[in-house]
Amino acid sequence: MKKLFIILIGSMLLASCQNISENANNKTLKNTQTMEKLAKQEIKSLLMAYKETLNTSDAEKATSLYAKDGIFMPSGAPSAIGTDSIKGAYDFVFSQIQLNIEFYIEEITIENTLAYAVTSSKGTTLIHTNGETIPEENRELFVFEKENGKWKIARYMFNKTK
């Protein structure tokens, strides 16, 4: 009888430990999912802020969204590497055109302190030299990194779809 009692108590303790372990695993999974959801929301907000900088021709604000060693890789132009070069590239672009676009987020993937987003954009471009407004349609690839606890654009490349 004593052995049966010890086996019963041991089984109950083992089951209790398994429940504690399962609860801890569930909490860890929920925390990871919550952190990823928050990170995706922060990146979506960053992308919307970037869209606004394009639509308002704000080179200073666009540059501030990049990491210190970020790279802007515009279609048909040399890459701009680092803050000063990126600012100069946006100053030049905005001196030539005025964008009026909308961003469509197709995918955001997060891996620790790096993330990437695939987006597309559609709208119009006003060309300053001749006053002509033309359709604008691109696909974009953003790579993000955490810098001082905030998501920043590490690499950005786009090309025209039409």
Q: How large is the average pLDDT for residues 17-38?
A: 66
Backbone angles phi, psi at 147, to 5 degrees: -130, 120
Q: What percent of the chain has pLDDT over 90?
A: 73
pLDDT for 15? 57
**For 38-57, what is each residue's pLDDT tens digit?**
999 999 999 999 999 999 99
Cβ(114)–Cβ(144) below 8 Å: yes
Work out whether strand 66-73 and strand 150-160 pair parallel, antiparallel, or are unpaired. Answer: parallel
In the predicted structure, residue 28 carries a pLDDT above the cut 90: no
Average per-residue pLDDT for the chain: 88
What contacts 106, CB < 8 A, 6 or more positions away? 117, 118, 119, 120
CATH-assigned architecture of domain 2-160: Roll (3.10)
**What is the rounded distance in angstroms from the CA atom of residue 130 to the CA atom of residue 162?**
21
Question: What is the structure's pLDDT at 23?
Answer: 59
What's the pLDDT score for residue 94? 97
At 75 the pLDDT is 87
User: How large is the average pLDDT for residues 110-136?
Assistant: 96
What pLDDT does residue 2 have? 61
12 has a pLDDT exceeding 90? no
For residue 162, name the pLDDT band (cuts at 50, 70, 90).
Answer: confident
- Which residue is it, tokens 């001082």? 148
91-116 per-residue burial string, b: 16 or more CB within 10 A, e: under 16: eebbeebebebebebeebebeeeebb
